Structure 1
Amino acid sequence: MPSKSASCRRNDRNLRLTPKMYKLYILPWHGNSDGGLGPLMIEGTMPDTGALSARRIVIRASSALLAFERLALMGLMYLLTALILVNVVTRYSHFPIYWIDESAVYCVVWLTFIGASAMTRLRLDFAVTMLTERLSPQHQKIAKVISTGLVVVFGVALIVTCVLWMDPIGLARAGFDGRKLAAETFNFLYTEHTQTLNWPTWVLYLTLPIFAVSMTIHGLANLLEDLELVPRTPLRGFQLSELDGVN
């Protein structure tokens, strides 16, 4: 009669592990001597580790980015409120500060793009449902995946446009000299300044590439959830009801 250790070695030889398959053997050590259950084998599949880690990276990056956007939105809202109050007080005091109006305008611009990026992840972007609401649930799911995929495509296209517009490679070749780049390519982005703040305009225009990258990350996270490749991630810090989501 073969011993238990010999039985284990024999079963171990039959065990073949692959990246997508595992086999688990459970031996009845407490079985009766006159008989009992044989070895129990369980087979299943394991998810691809590389794909799972990539999905996890996208979801974590989107969550971290959303948390940062929440803080940025609160800070910009406080700043905008303070600028408007100071502007009102100084105008009534007949000592207006000339650069506050322009500061408030650019503050609203940054608020708009950062808020639009956060709304993408929160699924608060607007959607026309006159067609999709007449489809079956399965077709509605397909339409939602297509819509989310188009958001990712738009984000990638915007990234490419910002790279072509801001031309970081050309700026590096010009020795980071904006005037030299303007003379060679007629791109005056790095030579212009704002009217009252006298800030370089490219610094304020950075909101466009930042928005493009953040929207793309949020769109990828939404697409993974719509494809059911990852579970829905609870969004912390935002008190949303079922009626708040438009899309």
Structure 2
Amino acid sequence: MKKILTMAEKLFLRIAALFFLIFTACVIMQVASRYIPGFRVVWAEELATYAFIWMVFIGAAVMVREKGHFTVGLVVDNVKGLPLLIIQSITHLLIIVFGLVMIIDGLGLTSQFWGWTLNNLPGIRQGYAWLAIPIAGLSMMLFALQNFWEDFHRYKQSREADIK
């Protein structure tokens, strides 16, 4: 499982980087279209918005894997043993619940907007943009479960080391 999630994380980082490049290129085209006469790119703003959405949601999932989400360092750094495991477990549980909400609501939004197309790119469905939400939610849940598992085993190993 860990190997699969590591591969997923690497894939997500590449996808986020690709969407960052698309976002950057679209913003540059937007700025250029303001100053270069005759250069019009009407779809760049919309594509930049959707690339940014994907970049943020996929990046947020990777941050859950890296435990880069919000934590109170003062508490986590000064607590050890079972209290630390409890705090970490509550954090992971909250992330799992949040991921579940993202999946449920994200699938609803995806299906609601699946038939709609982008204004300036009528060949692309808006549902693809909303699809980032349930994908990120599922990934966050899986990454949080893995983090919980690792924290539990780390606690278990430290207890066994203390007993010896």
Q: Say whether 1:197 aligns with 2:141.
A: no
User: Which letter maps to 1:75?
Assistant: L
Counterpart selection for 1:67 from 2, 6, 10: 10
Name the SS of the counterpart of 1:228 in structure 2: helix
Pairing 1:218–2:143 present: yes
TM superposition outliers: structure 1 runs of 4+ over 6 Å? none
Per the alignment, residue 47 of structure 2 pairs with 103
For residues 151 and 36 of structure 2, what CA distance do their matches in structure 1 show? 55
Unaligned runs of 5+ in 1: 1-56, 168-187, 230-247
Say whether the 8 Å CA contact 2:61–2:139 is kept in structure 1.
Answer: yes
Aligned residues: 154
1:76 matched to 2:1: no
**Structure 2 unaligned residues grouped into runs of 5+:** 155-164
The CA RMSD measured in Å over matched residues stands at 2.5
Compute the displacement of 1:192 (Å).
Answer: 2.1
Mapped pair 1:140 → 2:84:
yes
Structure with the bigger percentage of helix? 2
- More strand by proportion, 1 or 2? 1
Match runs of 1:106-125 below 5 Å: 106-125=50-69
Higher Rg: 1
1:1-247 residue pairs with structure 2 within 5 A?
57=1, 59-94=2-37, 95-129=39-73, 135-166=79-110, 188-198=112-122, 199-228=124-153
Provide closer, same or farther for how the CA distance between residues 212 and 84 of structure 1 changes in structure 2, counting only shifts above 3 A.
same
Q: Which has the higher contact order (CA 8 A, sep 6+)?
A: 2
Quote the sequence identity (%): 24
- Write the distance in 1 (CA, Å) between the matches of 2:113 and 2:20: 28
**Distance (Å, rounded) in 2 between the aligned partners of 1:189 and 1:93:** 35
| TM-score (normalizing by structure 1) | 0.55
Code of the aligned partner of 1:191: G
TM-score of the two chains, using structure 2 as the length reference: 0.80
